Amino acid sequence: MSLPALEEILERSHVVSLPLSVRFRGVNHREALLIDGPAGWGEFSPFLEYGAQESSRWLACAIEAAWDGLPAPVRASVPVNATVPAVAPSAVERVLARYDGPGTVKVKVAEKGQRLPDDVARVAAVRAALPGARLRIDANQGWDHDQALAALEALEPFGLEYAEQPVPEIEGLARLREELARRGLGIKIAADESVRKESDPLAVARAGAADLIVVKAQPLGGVRNALRIVREAGLPAVVSSALDTSIGLRIGAGLAAALPELPFACGLGTGSLFEVDVASPAYVAVGGELDLRRVVADPELLQLHRASPERERWWRDRTAGAHAALLSRRG
């Protein structure tokens, strides 16, 4: 993939701020820089706290989608899970009502300021609302070893499909996985941050620290690089997203559609957490599945939800920093 000039990227860019239906990762709006490229639309939306080096992988993904397009699919649609943020149990049914026919639900746990009883009550509320659904939890490395053991013992009766990144670091995952096996708890461990935030995303597989890996197109530098990582890791993969707009979700669906095997529902249903989106209609699942239709940003929606001039400058400067990091890495 050749690297377009920064000026061309910025000329093709639109910065938006989209309201969310629930608070997610501490924000009520999701900002993104979208690129109208010659091969399609790309999305650059690293979380606000990420620096230029980490953000550069997200920009590489946006450039790949906008200039090279997506690889050929091997399936016509992809199954997706619903996502329940760290809301009160009383809000669970309202969140789930935004999804159409989910067969799998991911529940966020280990939120700062909350305790284990809050997590248990939230998972119980999901199980009560959808008795036949597959459940998985995502701790975003929010527990230490002892907290994770206590939490997983408390949540195991709900029949978890897997626990995503319960503790930080590859060594922490390996230690926890070993102890769970010793105690006879059959909960699978999925690695997320230990894949996408590591300098070597394959290290978790070599260490035997996880049963499966979570792959996201933006943090891993694009669809084709993510496909390579899955191939070389030799572990089952779950495709997920990072609270992307419809543009980013379609890129994630392109990754899921190109994988030779797709044993788990994908975390690509978070478009249902947006009050509004940039595509019309928004790219959301129907009957728990995403089709592979072409997704483009609507000019009226881009204008209606255009970020403030100050935030637009901030994102353009951020793009310049990520572009410089890409140039530096390529020598």
Burial of 306 (0-12, 13-18, 19+ CB in 10 A): middle
User: In terms of domains, do 53 and 136 share one?
Assistant: no
Q: Give the span between the Cα atoms of 299 and 281, in whole angstroms.
A: 13
Give the number of domains in the chain.
Answer: 2
Q: From CA 87, how far away is CA 107, in angstroms rounded? A: 9
pLDDT of the residue at 27? 84
For residue 15, the enclosing domain spans: 6-69+300-329
Structural tokens at position 281:
């209609």
Helices (H), 234-308: 246-258, 299-304
- The 10s digit of each residue's pLDDT in 256-272 is 999 999 999 999 999 99
Distance CA 8, CA 317 (A): 14
Q: What residues contact residue 143 under an 8 Å CB cut-off, 6+ apart? A: 110, 151, 166, 167
> What CATH number is attached to the domain comprising 272?
3.20.20.120
**Exposure class string for 107-124: b at 16+ Cβ within 10 A, else e:** bbbbbeeeeeebbbebbb
Average pLDDT over the chain, rounded to an integer: 96
Distances (CA, A) of 296 to 11, 39, 271, 277, 285: 17, 11, 14, 11, 16
Give the CATH number for residue 26. 3.30.390.10
For residue 231, name the pLDDT band (cuts at 50, 70, 90).
Answer: very high
Q: Do residues 65 and 163 share a domain? A: no
Instruction: Report, as an integer, the average pLDDT of 6-35.
Output: 94
Segment 96-129, tens digit of pLDDT: 999 999 999 999 999 999 999 999 999 999 999 9
The catalytic residues are 108, 216
Neighbouring residues of 120: CB distance < 8 A, sequence distance ≥ 6: 154, 155
What does the pLDDT read at residue 109? 98
Question: Are 131 and 151 found together in one domain?
Answer: yes
Domain contains 1:
no
Q: Are residues 96 and 236 in the same domain?
A: yes
Residue 105 and residue 15 share a domain: no
